[in-house]
Amino acid sequence: MSTHSNGMPVLPKEAYTSQEWFDREQAEIFSKTWSLAGFQEDITEPGQYISVQAGLNNIFIVMGRDHRLRAFHNICRHRGTQLLRAEGKTQKAITCPYHDWTYDLKGNLISVPEQEKEFPGIDLSCNGLKKASVDIWRGMLWVHPDENAPSIINWFGEVEPYLAPYDPAGLIETEEGYSKHEIKANWKIIVENYIDGYHLSHLHSHTLNMYDHSKIECEFIGPHFAFWEPLADFYAAEVEKVTPMPLIPGIPKDKMGAWVPMLFPGIGLGESENSWSTFHITPIAPDRSMVEIRTRVANESTWAFTKAAMASASLWDKHLGAKFNAGPKVDPMSSGDFMQEDIYACEQQQKSLQSPFFEHGPSSKHGEKPVRDHQRVVAEWVERKP
């Protein structure tokens, strides 16, 4: 694949720019792994459904009357029309908009208009919806295109001990913590930015300084990247008093900090002492990706949030700020928002990849080791022989 020696990037430039690479990743990575489909609370009632794109597959999840979820490929068995869009609630059946073939919530084909005349002798039971797999893990919904997918515990079990010691299902989602960003960069550039420990105390010198970047513990566990860093000393000293939001219960004092894993492929989590979020990267084109962020916080009263924010305000004014002191409108680097800082860095990097003068520079020994490791994981998956 690459002749780069140790300390140099593993993937070639084309991996970030060519349609061919993009297609291979869609087929070999995003269509063969567990995909994040949402939060557990997105489907709560029998008949309720959501549909998601997982690589090349469009899959919908619907809850049955037994309150168990079922996942099916969102493809009519007649001529393939997509059956359900986005999200919603159906009664007892799913009818294809094209010729009204109808399926029950168990995926069985139950009626075909003008069956006798148009399809004499058809065996309805051979034309049920194709099944996919669905499960819930850490309060999130996951789908896999294969009906007999390896269990989700098989896929995530080994990285579990490296995640926050609380159950995210017990937290509640906040509207303020939701955002969606279309970023003009290849999905791997965004992953690499997320797992690059080298940039934390530089790019984010004024935004993420509540954590102690000198004590990072991180490594790849199989295809997944695990990351933890403790609170910075000034913050740890009185975290109960100065946390800007109520603390999430269940974290031992000596483990207080941030768990920021990047699950394969492209599913980042940000699990901290006071908030929990998903950072879900979906590739759209070789040079474009969508990032959707959803956030949960401790299940506490509005009053508890107001109180924490007020009590901690003066401390955070002192410690947080922007890297350069121009107005945020002029320069993203002065927005004081680490997300803006990252997006800017990713998009600029993607732009440069188009230049004939672009050449990969050396990769740092420690801080950027995860970047090379992730490239190795990607290379391994796209080269996999069936």
Partner 1 sequence: MRNIVYSLRVSEIITETKHAKTIRFDVPAELKEEFFWKPGQHITIELDVNGERVRRPFTISATPSHGNALQITVKSNPDGIVSKFLCTKVKVGHQLNVMPPFGGFTLEPLKDRQRTLYFFAGGSGITPAVAMIEAALEREPRSKLFLLYANRTADDIIFKEQLELLAERFPSQLEVRHILSKPSLWSMFSPWKSGRITKDVALEYLSECRPVAQDTQYFICGPGTMNADVREALRNCDVPTDRIHAESFGGNLDMPKDVASVPALLKLDYYGEAIELEVAKGQSIMNAVRAAGLEPPYSCQSGICGTCRAQIKSGAVNMKARMALEDSEVAKGAILTCQSYAKTAELSISFK
Rule CB under 6 A: choose which of 13, 65, 79, 366 binds ligand FES.
79
96 binds, among ligand FES, partner 1, Fe ion, none (CB under 5 to 8 A by kind): ligand FES
CA angle 113, 116, 120 (to 5 degrees): 115
Per-residue binding string, ligand FES, 82-101, x by CB under 6 A, is: --------------x-xx-x
Q: Are residues 262 and 277 in contact, defined by beta-carbon separation less than 8 angstroms? A: no
78 binds, among Fe ion, partner 1, ligand FES, none (CB under 5 to 8 A by kind): ligand FES
154 binds, among ligand FES, partner 1, Fe ion, none (CB under 5 to 8 A by kind): partner 1
Rule CB under 5 A: choose which of 342, 370, 377, 381 binds Fe ion.
342
Tokens 């979820």, residue located: 69
Q: Which residues pair with 108 in a beta bridge?
A: none
Closest by Cα among 267, 347, 381 to 10? 381
CB of 57 to ligand FES, least distance (A): 17
**Does the footprint of partner 1 cover residue 329 (CB under 8 A)?**
no
CB of 303 to ligand FES, least distance (A): 52
**Does the footprint of partner 1 cover residue 40 (CB under 8 A)?**
yes
Q: How many residues bind to ligand FES according to rule CB under 6 A? A: 8
Q: In terms of CB distance, is 104 or 347 closer to Fe ion?
A: 347
Q: In terms of CB distance, is 81 or 205 closer to ligand FES?
A: 81
Q: In terms of CB distance, is 296 or 323 closer to partner 1?
A: 296
Rule CB under 8 A: choose which of 19, 115, 154, 179 binds partner 1.
154
Q: How many residues bind to Fe ion according to rule CB under 5 A? A: 1
CB of 122 to partner 1, least distance (A): 24
CB atoms within 10 A of CB 167: 12
Per-residue binding string, ligand FES, 31-70, x by CB under 6 A, is: ----------------------------------------
Q: Which stretch binds ligand FES (CB under 6 A): 51-59, 71-79, 153-161, 219-227?
A: 71-79
Rule CB under 8 A: choose which of 8, 56, 93, 153 binds partner 1.
153
Q: In terms of CB distance, is 273 or 341 closer to Fe ion?
A: 341
99 binds, among ligand FES, partner 1, Fe ion, none (CB under 5 to 8 A by kind): ligand FES
* 294 burial type by CB count under 10 A (0-12 exposed, 13-18 middle, 19+ buried): buried
Rule CB under 8 A: choose which of 105, 112, 203, 251 binds partner 1.
105
Q: Are residues 334 and 165 in contact, defined by beta-carbon separation less than 8 angstroms? A: no
Where along the sequence are the contacts to Fe ion (CB under 5 A)?
342
Where along the sequence are the contacts to partner 1 (CB under 8 A)?
40, 64-69, 105-106, 134-137, 151-154, 157, 169
Where along the sequence are the contacts to ligand FES (CB under 6 A)?
76, 78-79, 81, 96, 98-99, 101
